[in-house]
Structure formats: structure tokens, C-alpha cells
């Protein structure tokens, strides 16, 4: 059984004291594919080092996270362009719009999001979307870019069934993580109405740890708790969930 974590910040400072042990715990739990989203240029070196240390397991993305879209965002976007031109990445991400922390940057967040979607199309790569308090704004941008070259993952999907169908209409898989295990997460109430072919697994570690670790540091081995929950929701074996979601990730990331 191969389990894929399609979204994990393993280069985070949260793992500086035990990164090697934490990765080994994941490997022991049969999590052997780790897709690593970017945040901004300050994290690039740590991402490259992670890949150098685990070349068989780590698959890097490149992008500018919406909470890092500040006054210098054009310089940061140039860094993204330079890196994409220099070497292969598996996706442009994580990108999108976040209105939880700062609504004043909405216009430049939209500009950065749109620009990076166009970069993804240029390199024929998927996008990995970060959305927080911004479904309408995300969909507005996606609508302007909708075509056969637009595809990817709606990371950490926490919306309604209607929003799920809307996201899928833009060729997006739904990234399902720890929220599916929360009592108030709500998505567990309708997930079984969505075909598994649209689902990928993720942790977003070190954030959003699933039950019974909620509120603690998340790590990639905990994706098995999401796997257990989806097995319960869909009433199929964990092996089947792992097989289908890993195959979905292969189709998205083209590996």
C-alpha cells in the first residue's frame, strides 16, 4: 500500500528538532510520497535541502502563498518565475487568496494568483489552491482562467457540497485532510456524495492535525487518520482509499 500526502510543509521550522525521525515515522506508516508546497523565497533553500536529503520521496512545488503577498510581491513572483525556468517542479503552489488574516491585500492577491495560474499553464503544471474565507474570490479568478489547461488541487477543502462541485468544474481535485475528522468539520457529512476519483489525501502539516491529535503539531504519518476516516465515510477498505487517492495524485502531478 502506497499512501500519498499531497500537501505537507516538511521544511517547516516546527520539524527542525526531529525532522529525520518524523519522516521515518511517515515512511514506516507507508506514506512514501510527499508533495511539498512553497510559501515564499525565504523557504526555497530549505525545500531544496529537503529534496536533496530525501530524493526518492519529496516532490517540490513552487509558488507564492497568498499570505506572503505583500508590497514586494512582484519581486517574489519573479523568484517563482526564475525557479520554474531553472528546474522542474511538480506544481505551482500553494497559491490563491486568504482573507482571514488581511483583506487589504485582496487586489494584489488576485493579481498574484492569476499570474501564477498563467505560469502553471505555460509550464503545463497543476496549481494547488489555498483558499481561506475567499471561495467567491477564488472562483471569480478561476472563471477568467477556465480552459483545458487549468487543473490542480483545491487544497484543504472545507466548503459546502455546492462549492465542491464548483471547484471540480475547474478540473480541481479536492485535498482532504484533518478537517474531515473534526466533529464540526461538516465535510464528512457529504463527502460520500463525491466520487473518490476527485479526492486526494493531505495533512498540511505542521497545521490542522486530525483527531486525536487536534491542536497539536501535525505530521505526515497522521495522514493515516484521514485515510481511516475516509474508509469509514465511503465504506471501502483503507487499501482501496490509498490506491485511488494515490492514483489521483499521479494523474495530477504526472508522476
Q: C-alpha grid cell for residue 68?
A: 506572503
As a whole number of angstroms, the distance between CA 107 and CA 185 comes to 29
As a whole number of angstroms, the distance between CA 49 and CA 16 comes to 13
As a whole number of angstroms, the distance between CA 145 and CA 178 comes to 30
Q: What is the pLDDT of residue 184?
A: 86
- What Rg value do the Cα atoms of the chain yield, rounded? 17
Q: What is the pLDDT of residue 185?
A: 81
As a whole number of angstroms, the distance between CA 57 and CA 45 comes to 17
SS (H, E, C) the chain: CCEEECCECCCCHHHCCCHHHHHHHHHHCCEEEEEECCCCHHHHHHHHHHHHHCCCCEEECECCCHHHCCCCHHHHHHHHHHHHHHCCCCCEEEEEEECCCCCCCHHHHHHHHHHHHHHHHHCCCCEEEEEECCHHHHHHHHHHHCCCCCCEEECCCCCCHHHHHHHHCCCEEEEECHHHHCCCCCHHHCHHHCCHHHEEECCCECCCCCCCCCCCCCCHHHHHHHHHHHHHHHCCCHHHHHHHHHHHHHHHHCC
Q: What is the pLDDT of residue 232?
A: 96
What is the full per-residue pLDDT of the chain (255 aa) written as tens digits?
999 999 999 999 999 999 999 999 999 999 999 999 999 999 999 999 999 999 999 999 999 999 999 999 999 999 999 999 999 999 999 999 999 999 999 999 999 999 999 999 999 999 999 999 999 999 999 999 999 999 999 999 999 999 999 999 999 999 999 999 998 888 999 999 999 999 999 999 999 999 999 999 999 999 999 999 999 999 999 999 999 999 999 999 999
Q: What is the pLDDT of residue 88?
A: 97
Amino acid at each position: 500500500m502506497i499512501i500519498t500526502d499531497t500537501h505537507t510543509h516538511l521544511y517547516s521550522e516546527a520539524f527542525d528538532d526531529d525532522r529525520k525521525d518524523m519522516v521515518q515515522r511517515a515512511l514506516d506508516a507507508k506514506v512514501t510520497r510527499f508533495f511539498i508546497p512553497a510559501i515564499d523565497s525565504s523557504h526555497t533553500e530549505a525545500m531544496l535541502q529537503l529534496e536533496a536529503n530525501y530524493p526518492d520521496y519529496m516532490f517540490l512545488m513552487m509558488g507564492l502563498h497568498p499570505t506572503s503577498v505583500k508590497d514586494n510581491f512582484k519581486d517574489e513572483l519573479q523568484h517563482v518565475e526564475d525557479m520554474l525556468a531553472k528546474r522542474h517542479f511538480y506544481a505551482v503552489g500553494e497559491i490563491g487568496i486568504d482573507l482571514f488574516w488581511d483583506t487589504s491585500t485582496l487586489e494584489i492577491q488576485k493579481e498574484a494568483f492569476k499570474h501564477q495560474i498563467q505560469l502553471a499553464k505555460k509550464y503545463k503544471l497543476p496549481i494547488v489552491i489555498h483558499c481561506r474565507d475567499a471561495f467567491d474570490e477564488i472562483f471569480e479568478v478561476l472563471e477568467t482562467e477556465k480552459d483545458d489547461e487549468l487543473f490542480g488541487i483545491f487544497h484543504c477543502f472545507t466548503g459546502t457540497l455546492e462549492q465542491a462541485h464548483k471547484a471540480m468544474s475547474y478540473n480541481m481535485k479536492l485535498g482532504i485532510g484533518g478537517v474531515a475528522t473534526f466533529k464540526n468539520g461538516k465535510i464528512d457529512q457529504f463527502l460520500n456524495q463525491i466520487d473518490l476519483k476527485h479526492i486526494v489525501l493531505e495533512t498540511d502539516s505542521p497545521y490542522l492535525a486530525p483527531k486525536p491529535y487536534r491542536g497539536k503539531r501535525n505530521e505526515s504519518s497522521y495522514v493515516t487518520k484521514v485515510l481511516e476516516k475516509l474508509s469509514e465515510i465511503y465504506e471501502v477498505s483503507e487499501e482501496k482509499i490509498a490506491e485511488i487517492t494515490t492514483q489521483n495524485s499521479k494523474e495530477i502531478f504526472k508522476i
